[in-house]
Amino acid sequence: MDLRKNHLVNGVAYAAATLGTIVGELRDLHILVYVCKPLMMILLSSWFFFNSRRVGDRFTLLIQLGLFFSLWGDVALMFDHLDQFYFLIGLGSFLLAQLCYTLAFAHNIADAGAGHGLLIQSVLAAIVIVYGALFGNMLLEKVDVNILTPVGVYAVAITLMGLGAALRFGRTFFPSFLMVFAGAVLFIASDSILATARFVRPLEHAKWSVLITYAVAQYLIARGSLRHVLDPEEIRRRAALRA
């Protein structure tokens, strides 16, 4: 058994790193956070890579890049209490991660061609767009003018990521769609909680709720992406296209 590819082993390790990060944040144990928080994305990226490397297409590469930039975002945000510059670095890193995920979903949509379920796609897409517009507008009224532009750009980027995940409905296998869309929604929720706590009003639960929603979101996006590329039907389809 290859432990690098094992879902259970890596899932437990990822959960342990997440728990360690939450405990470190709640108890102000910075060393624990410095160890466990980067370990989250390292574990998830490694697991995703070793399970998807035999596919090696543009979709998996973009998801891998999204996980990579998320790692750097996590590292930067560990130090944002020292200087706001680290927050901007983290914001930029996560912006790149969102763009990578969005491009991956767009590639999936274009590769699949016309799908079914246009009504459901439209409803889900409309919900994402309306929420992004309303929350983004409220947030921009609260942030400092010096970071207004980067925060606004990031709000657009994460909304596009959610939109891309919604439009995968009917263009991939339902378990893959469900995992990735749920992950995108949780990612938006995590960033919404973080932004509310930082710019709008204090939230007592923010230290743990941001991390839990973020950790589950990243896992679901990675796991759902693997379900797409490793499904036997998808493997046969790609083989037929190459023949």
As for how many domains the chain has, the answer is 1
Report yes or no on 97 lying in a domain. yes
Report yes or no on 2 lying in a domain. no
Contacting residues for 139 by C-beta, under 8 A, at least 6 apart: 151, 155, 195, 196, 199, 200
Q: In the prediction, which pLDDT does 85 show?
A: 86
Report yes or no on 152 lying in a domain. yes
Q: How far is CA 218 from CA 113, 165, 192, in A?
A: 26, 13, 15
Q: In the prediction, which pLDDT does 62 show?
A: 96
User: DSSP assignment, residue 124?
Assistant: H
Contacting residues for 177 by C-beta, under 8 A, at least 6 apart: 168, 169, 170, 171, 224
Q: Which of 40, 56, 43 is nearest to 4 (CA)?
A: 43
| Integer Cα distance of 15 and 238 in angstroms | 33
| Integer Cα distance of 84 and 61 in angstroms | 31
* Side-chain half-sphere exposure of 42, counting CA atoms within 13 A: 10
Total-model pTM: 0.92
Q: Are the C-beta atoms of residues 204 and 45 closer than 8 Å to each other?
A: no
Q: In the prediction, which pLDDT does 82 show?
A: 79
Report yes or no on 1 lying in a domain. no
From first CA to last CA, the distance across the chain in angstroms is: 31
Q: In the prediction, which pLDDT does 230 show?
A: 85
Q: Tens-of-pLDDT digits for all 243 residues of the chain? A: 688 899 999 999 999 999 999 999 999 999 999 999 999 999 999 999 999 987 778 999 999 999 999 999 999 999 887 788 898 999 999 999 999 999 999 998 888 776 678 899 999 999 999 999 999 999 989 888 888 898 999 999 999 999 999 999 988 889 999 999 999 999 999 999 999 999 999 999 999 999 999 999 999 999 999 999 887 666 555 554 444
Report yes or no on 159 lying in a domain. yes
| Integer Cα distance of 213 and 207 in angstroms | 11
User: DSSP assignment, residue 27?
Assistant: T
Report yes or no on 157 lying in a domain. yes
List the domain range (segments joined by +) for residue 81. 7-242
Report yes or no on 197 lying in a domain. yes
Q: How far is CA 93 from CA 69, 75, 78, 119, in A?
A: 5, 10, 13, 34
Report yes or no on 127 lying in a domain. yes
